[in-house]
Amino acid sequence: MNRDDLILISVDDHIIEPPDMFVNHLPERYRADAPQLVHREDGSDVWKFRETVIPNAALNAVAGRPKEEYGLEPQGLDEIRPGCYDVHERIKDMNAGGILGSMNFPSFPGFAARLFATEDAEFSLALVRAYNDWHIDEWCAAYPGRFIPMALPAIWDAELCAAEVRRVAAKGCHSLTFTENPAVLGYPSFHNEYWDPLWRALVDTDTVLSVHIGSSGRLSIPAVDSPPDVMITLQPMNIVSAAADLLWSRVIKEFPGIKIALSEGGTGWIPYFLERVDRTFEMHATWTLQDFGGKLPSEVFRDHFLTCFISDPLGVKLRHEIGIDNICWEADYPHSDSMWPGAPEELGDVLEREAVPDSDIAKMTHENAMRWYSFDPFAHIPREQATVGALRKAAEGHDISIRSRSHRVIDPADKLEAYRSRARAAQAR
């Protein structure tokens, strides 16, 4: 394996939305009521929508910054890399990191766009459509072949959500971001027939349900006074719950073409999970009446679920226990887990250490992503220009140095106290 020859497509990155995103896509009658980016006296920029204020937490955009600036305090756009919110700068950052393609999850609306669910259904739908049109027609279309487009759902109405899936699929978008647990958000669970129009639309359009960790708005935290390390460690646990919920659901049986991505959930846990679901089936199917048509649950998982990893040495080692056709790579730019701009080096170390053959590398780094998400970058970019080496050559001179961007120096003890205050407030709600 030559690291310069790698072709990297990331199925999990993030956008920090720019302030003008609604200008060209929201009907004029709604613009005065649309979410607005507000600059505050402390230097931070926050999105404000009616009574809701959504800060841009520092952990969401730390690419290119020292670890001393990690935290959950709000920050301004001028404190983060322009590549977080400017598509032209994002492409430069992608090139410098050797990344050919990227799928970008939303930030301020939330992964399931619950923020847009207002009492005015027409306004809510207009917001979702405006976001999706901006994302597809401006962000992704600015550089064909570089972005896997992703749509927000009309989470409050299954029929409208299905219609939006069909509308954006006609634009070439085959990924829908969705919650890991709709019941937590006050909607029917995955097991309810309410969502059947959505499942049909996803299957009919070959669209992937991309379920991101934390998309239910709740994380597994054992105690309000736990240190933040507990919350960060347990972030993937909700995606494990979602995987079990969907695997055992009627959705898998009644909509055999459904495809589900477990986004930013890692892969090392999956071999045990598959052992556990097969054991559960063996011991309990006689009374739970589970029937997968002669298949084991682990086989059904590989038919329907896509997983992804950042470096995950254990998952790479156990890739065939997981399913080599079910694994994609992610960069997680610009979040704190990201290895940008050194992804080819860190990933390359793992691949070399595990002696992964080139055929397996190709599947995990780009081929699986292309197949699952109906994405063909080579229709726009010659393969020889799509490699790590070629992209980095195109980015020569682009500044990727680690440097301070924060206006304020915050003592770590103050950051911890602020975290605990927010945790106590959340528990009180």
CA–CA distance, 44 with 38 (Å, rounded to integer): 8
Question: Are the C-beta atoms of 3 and 388 separated by less than 8 Å?
Answer: yes
- C-alpha closest to that of 56 among 40, 64, 44: 44
Pairing of strands 45-49, 52-55: antiparallel
pTM for the whole structure:
0.94
The domain tally of the chain equals: 1
Using only the alpha carbons of the chain, give its radius of gyration.
Answer: 21
Burial track 109-145 (b if 16+ CB lie within 10 A, e otherwise):
bbbbbbbbbeeeeebbbbbbbbbbbbbbebbbeebee
Q: C-alpha angle with apex 65: 59 to 66, nearest 5 degrees?
A: 95
* pLDDT in single tens digits along all 429 residues of the chain: 899 999 999 999 999 999 999 999 999 999 999 999 999 888 889 999 999 998 877 667 889 888 887 876 768 889 899 999 999 999 999 999 999 999 999 999 999 999 999 999 999 999 999 999 999 999 999 999 999 999 999 999 999 999 999 999 999 999 999 999 999 999 999 999 999 999 999 999 999 999 998 887 665 555 667 787 887 777 777 889 999 999 999 999 999 999 999 999 999 999 999 999 999 999 999 999 999 999 999 999 999 999 999 999 999 999 999 999 999 999 999 998 899 999 999 999 999 999 999 999 999 999 999 999 999 999 999 999 999 999 999 999 999 999 888 877 676 766 666 666 665 655 555
Q: Which residue has the tokens 């634009």?
A: 171
CA–CA distance, 281 with 285 (Å, rounded to integer): 5
Q: Could you tell me the residue range of the domain that residue 206 belongs to? A: 3-428
Pairing of strands 147-148, 36-39: unpaired
- C-alpha closest to that of 259 among 216, 302, 197, 319: 302
| CATH number of the domain within which 21 lies | 3.20.20.140
